[in-house]
Structure 1
């Protein structure tokens, strides 16, 4: 088993789970078992790898260098990895895309990352067919978990918890109570483990069955931290748009597993992590 993108927060949850059943190697630019740079012209992986899991990603930005980086890593890098996996006679490749690939082009949340992930799915489908490489693509919604490593990509979620922990009021801009879809990394890790074990192929949504409102997230944080915080809507500020996603449970039925960690449980897990050891 080869995990590409060891430093991702999700990989940190997946690797210990996989090591209970498989010999796991990690690959990346530094601090890994195998040195691998998806932007290199020469991407190679060791022979004898049964399954390759690609968790590497570049998140893009508004500037051209950031957009090019997202395309180089998420699209061209995946194509190189598929060819390297085929040469190494890998039996299965699992690619982590994003539910943001389904966003409409005019969505305020669509950008270089969403575009590159959409193209990466085309690359996975194309390479799987041309190379006769069994490929699975998972499209998770916004991933969160326990600890600081998730803050970078979910800053507002962790700011809510910070404020609840400090008994500060939680402000939501505008009159709209924005809709979001979060999935806990522990659920993603278990879904991935099942996909690998069953050698599933195809492209699948991987989102929480329940969308949540900002006010629900805030209330869950307040309860988890036993906080005196209040939730306030700043109605003189611009509204924050919704970004929820419908759940297609096709994959969940195939693996007989449904995401189980609710927002309330996720907040409680983070609160327990932050409490000093007694």
Structure 2
């Protein structure tokens, strides 16, 4: 079996917390394609047109323990993708992040443990948990000094997952994901720089860049992220935390130039805004652990993935006319 042949999950009951978001919709559809019995939980699907009719949708709020317990009941594998904040949120509110994401997850873990869930796969953040790393690419063993409430919350959840594994034997794997991009990503979320820039480029509008554009990020296509989640279910080795990225860094200015070329626009004006306190200068993930421990490899090249995303956005623009 190769990365072109993801594992099958025939009849396996899978729950996706946050199933209506960018990552959740892609994951739900992929699991259904691989034979799983999929339930997706959230407030509303970001785009109901994108969610397969083979996925059972459960409407609810993460803060409602009754709704969460009902969603978890009978599930074997649970994917925890929910977060009430994003890395670049202005005016960070650490107490809010703690109450909604961390304490909410603790209640959720109690529910999963009581329901005898077989495994939890958690969407952590490779872009924020390390903070300003001393060297790149960053391995999982690097020190973690996040500089955003979002990153602190993700790291705290990883630690609580480890505690629940130690105390109760609850199995888990945390995937520290780089900057995911691809079809279906919202242009409104502050972490979706590729989607936001592509949308503006296709409309012939100036590109907005935070800081001087020399910030370097690791961009990984959504197809590769989803593949990593599928392999995470079957992984039974000793590691509990793995990076998922491309292993390659691109400056935001380079991203802007590539988007201009793919969108077929003349060189667009660029509006440079003040840098954000939560942005580290460089973030590139070392993916040698996940490629050594699982059959997973990143398969979508940057320009190929960018072209596919542009085609999807163009088709959606035409469909809405």
TM-score by length of 1: 0.84
Contact preservation (8 Å) 1:3, 1:26? yes
C-alpha distance 71-104 of structure 1, shift in aligned 2 (>3 A) = farther
Q: Secondary structure at the match of 1:149?
A: coil
Aligned CA-pair RMSD: 3.2
C-alpha distance 174-67 of structure 1, shift in aligned 2 (>3 A) = closer
For 2:217 and 2:243, the matched residues in 1 are separated by: 15
Q: Does 1:15 align with 2:28?
A: yes
Hey, what does 2:82 align to over in structure 1? 56
Is 245-254 or 94-103 further displaced after alignment?
A: 245-254
Residue by residue over 1:197-219, the C-alpha shift from the partner in whole angstroms, topping out at 9 and shown as x without a partner, is 33566111112210111232122
For 1:184 and 1:196, the matched residues in 2 are separated by: 19
**What's the offset of the Cα at 1:148?**
4.9
User: Gaps (5+ residues) in structure 1?
Assistant: none
Contact preservation (8 Å) 2:216, 2:283? yes
For 2:99 and 2:275, the matched residues in 1 are separated by: 34
> Which of 171, 174, 182 is equivalent to 1:145?
182
For 1:123 and 1:137, the matched residues in 2 are separated by: 11
Q: Following superposition of structure 1 onto structure 2, how do residues 129-278 of structure 1 map, counting pairs within 5 Å?
A: 129-149=166-186, 151-167=188-204, 170=207, 177-199=214-236, 202-230=240-268, 242-276=281-315
**What's the offset of the Cα at 1:162?**
3.3
> Which of 47, 60, 63 is equivalent to 1:39?
63
Hey, what does 2:7 align to over in structure 1? none
C-alpha distance 223-137 of structure 1, shift in aligned 2 (>3 A) = same
C-alpha distance 55-175 of structure 1, shift in aligned 2 (>3 A) = closer
Contact preservation (8 Å) 2:206, 2:271? no
Contact preservation (8 Å) 1:181, 1:211? yes
C-alpha distance 112-19 of structure 1, shift in aligned 2 (>3 A) = same
Hey, what does 1:74 align to over in structure 2? 101
**What's the offset of the Cα at 1:30?**
5.5
For 2:211 and 2:109, the matched residues in 1 are separated by: 45
Contact preservation (8 Å) 1:182, 1:207? yes
Residue by residue over 1:53-105, the C-alpha shift from the partner in whole angstroms, topping out at 9 and shown as x without a partner, is 111112165657x4333212321222222221121111111111111112159
For 1:76 and 1:231, the matched residues in 2 are separated by: 44
User: Gaps (5+ residues) in structure 2?
Assistant: 1-13, 46-55, 134-143
**What's the offset of the Cα at 1:114?**
1.1
Contact preservation (8 Å) 2:174, 2:242? yes
For 1:71 and 1:83, the matched residues in 2 are separated by: 17
